[in-house]
Structure 1
Amino acid sequence: MAKLFAFFAALLGASSASAQTSLAELLSELDMLLKSKHPELAASLRPPQSAEQIERMEARYQIVLPDEVRTLYLWHDGQDPTGFTTFANNMAFQPLSELLQTKAEFDSMIGYDFHLKNWWHQAWLPLFHNGGGDYLVVDPQGIHTGDANQLLAFYHDDKYRPIIAKDLTTFFKAVLDYYDKTSTEDMDEFHIIDDFLPNSNLSFDASGKAEPLQ
């Protein structure tokens, strides 16, 4: 009986795993979709980083990137920084070098320009930016919520930090759905994907107080 139970448990586990699309698979699908449906955005994406290049950057900045972030930069090294082509939610995708430079700059401002304790946190990784000082960041530690690798919005002039997605896989599933299900006629330059994201309705302020969004 125990062997039979173990067999069905393993079978169910395999079925569940196969039903979950990995981030690498989503990114591969997104690549093909963008080339056919949004060639301008596809052309703005830079060649990928190699595993060795990522390791050198990690050593230089004394950081270990989360697996999902490594997967993302093994796909493409952000977008061409000489122009601004929106990737999603009026944000562009930063090259890894710019992500780490931005993070180092913001880390150095804690306690000086950033007077509130949790205005910026050293764990945060600013992957996407709007060119005006606002970022979508990956939070490897799950500050305040405990949800490691959540994606949240950092606003340079606002204390609130809305939770955007529970992880990058969830975020890129919404990106893929947006570009797949939205006709080119209905797209604007902002590419807002909120309707394709699970609704968390949760934000927290720099004091660490979490509260529903109004």
Structure 2
Amino acid sequence: MHHETNHYHREHSVSIAHDWHVFEQALQRKDPNLLQGLNAPATDEQVRQLEKHLGTPLPTQLKECLRIHDGQDPEAPWLFAGCEFMSTRRIARTWSLWQQLAANGDFRDLHAKPDHGVRALWWSPHWIPLTFNGSGDHDCLDMSPAAGGKSGQIIRVWHDHGQRALVADSFAAWFADLPNHLT
């Protein structure tokens, strides 16, 4: 089974607040009720707790994003290319689940097939899951890429397939492209 991905690159920096505004406008045009599924902003304490849980500082752009909307209600229609945009709490729980599976040896005999710049691992503690597709797969922020990769790139991680796909060069590029993939 081959999983298709597109790789997004962003040449210039635009604020996350601007990108949220564009995304919210796209939701408004599609169906104003979709806006109700977005959570309130994460508090500074929620962001700090997530960083503490993960054992790493979050990139500024992700913190800005979460401080506008702390993900979405998992029961609402999923807005991020057919996936749930996870809250700080769900990110922490999902990351912990993957960590536990790795600690239990569940990935010991599994072999990843990464794109260039992505580590050949089934799971890394340096991957921060941002989305959930309902089947155990995620777009993750990659904080420790392989040679040729870029810290902060977005990768797609499947729970049952070894492909580790590079999706975007940066969080900003990935986030800015989301309005093009509303479901």
TM-score above 0.5: yes
Q: Is the 8 A contact 1:154 1:161 kept in 2?
A: yes
Runs of 4+ deviating beyond 6 Å: none
Determine whether 1:157 maps to 2:160: yes
Partner of 1:108: 100
- Given the superposition, is the C-alpha separation of residues 145 and 41 from structure 1 closer, same or farther in structure 2, using an over 3 Å criterion? farther
Local SS of the residue matching 1:152: strand
Structure 1 residues 104 and 143, CA, compared in 2 at 3 Å: closer, same or farther? farther
What's the TM-score once normalised by structure 2's chain length? 0.78
Provide the aligned C-alpha RMSD in A. 2.3
Aligned mate of 2:40, from 22, 47, 52? 47
Partner of 2:156, secondary structure, is strand
Percentage of matched positions with identical amino acids: 25
User: Which residue of structure 1 aligns with residue 8 of structure 2?
Assistant: none
Report whether the alignment pairs 1:97 with 2:82: no
Structure 1: distance between partners of 2:144 and 2:20 = 24
> Gaps (5+ residues) in structure 1?
1-16, 180-189, 192-214
Deviation string 1:117-159 (CA, Å, 9 cap, x unpaired) is 7100110011001111111111022235431111111111100
| Aligned equivalents of 1:60, 1:163: Cα separation in 2 | 25
1:74 aligns with 2:63: no
How much does 1:94 deviate?
Answer: 0.7
Aligned length: 162
The CA distance in 2 between the partners of 1:65 and 1:95, in whole Å, is 14
**1:4-43 residue pairs with structure 2 within 5 A?**
20-43=13-36
Q: What's the TM-score once normalised by structure 1's chain length? A: 0.68
Query: In the TM superposition, what whole-angstrom CA distance separates every residue of 1:42-81 from its partner, at most 9, and x where no partner exists?
Result: 1111101022331133234533212122111111111112
- For structure 2, the 5+ residue unaligned runs are 1-10, 111-119
Contact 2:140 2:156 in 1 (8 A): yes
CA distance in 2, matches of 1:36, 1:79: 18
| Bigger-Rg structure (1/2) | 1
Partner of 1:136: 139
